[in-house]
A = this chain, B = another copy of it.
Amino acid sequence: MKSPNHPPIETLSLTRVLYALSDPIRLGLVHSLATKGEQACGALNLAVAKSTASHHFRVLRESGVIQMRPEGTHFINSLRKEDLDQRFPGLLDAVLQAAKTETEIG
């Protein structure tokens, strides 16, 4: 497994991050990574084809929201929380809190 490219912190674009988080599937992935910690792609059992899942992981990775670390036959995904907090303080926490609120309300 070849390690994919990750954009450096200073190149992260706010609109790109917001866009990455604006999809229900991707926001769900981020929420899951935030609450359960780092996980393999397969552990997040998505309701879409694996090529589609790969697409969403790519959007999240290229926007700087997550990082992917190769490990054996799969990838371990994790939030780039510290990077995001440094570049856009409070943003990730606010989004995660809002996501939590929304799932509670329905």
Give complex CA distance A90, B89 in Å: 11
Tell me whether A14 is interfacial, beta carbon within 8 Å.
yes
A79 → chain B closest CB, angstroms: 16
Number of copies: 2
* Tally of contact residues, A, Cβ under 8 A: 26
Cβ 8 A contact of A94, one of B15, B27, B89: B89
Given contacts A19-B22, A87-B101, A90-B94, 20 further A-B contacts (CB under 8 A): A13-B102, A14-B98, A14-B102, A15-B21, A15-B22, A15-B23, A15-B24, A16-B22, A18-B21, A18-B22, A18-B95, A87-B98, A88-B97, A88-B98, A89-B97, A90-B90, A91-B94, A91-B95, A91-B98, A94-B94
